[in-house]
Amino acid sequence: MAAAGASIVLVGLAVLSFLISMIPRLTGLFEEKAPPPVEKVETATKPKTIVPDKLPKDLGAASTIYISLTEDLGEAFNLIDLHKKSKEIGLPHPHLSINRFREAGVLVAVGDGRFSWQPLSEE
């Protein structure tokens, strides 16, 4: 009787694990399939940003590159958006550059997780 009970429990667990493994396939049947991605055709209306191999040591010159990235984001923007845009065009070390701008006071928080550019103070 003990062997029969143990085998029933093991068979039950095996069936249960099989059913759980089938859940992703079953949910795929009920979800709508995504349409195929549409290829974007870039227009030549916006000039490309020139990406240097190495950012200039001058904070003002380096910040102008990043400021040009955020022109279409508006006056206040998220750092995540700035980081994504800098990675898209291939700027080197965006985390270090953004941190450098924040420490220098060029990139300041305006509230609600948003940031804005401030003019570089001449000292």
| pLDDT of 106 strictly over 70 | yes
Among residues 110, 108, 55, which one has the least CA distance to residue 119? 108
For the stretch 74-90, pLDDT in tens is 888 888 888 888 888 88
The Cα 112–Cα 72 span in angstroms is: 19
Helix (H) or strand (E) holding 117: strand 114-117
pTM assigned to the model: 0.52
Write down all domains in the chain, each with its CATH number in brackets: 36-123 (1.10.10)
At residue 76, the 3 state secondary structure works out as coil
For the stretch 25-45, pLDDT in tens is 887 777 777 677 777 665 555
Helical spans, DSSP H, in 31-76: 59-69
Helical spans, DSSP H, in the chain: 2-30, 59-69, 79-89, 94-104
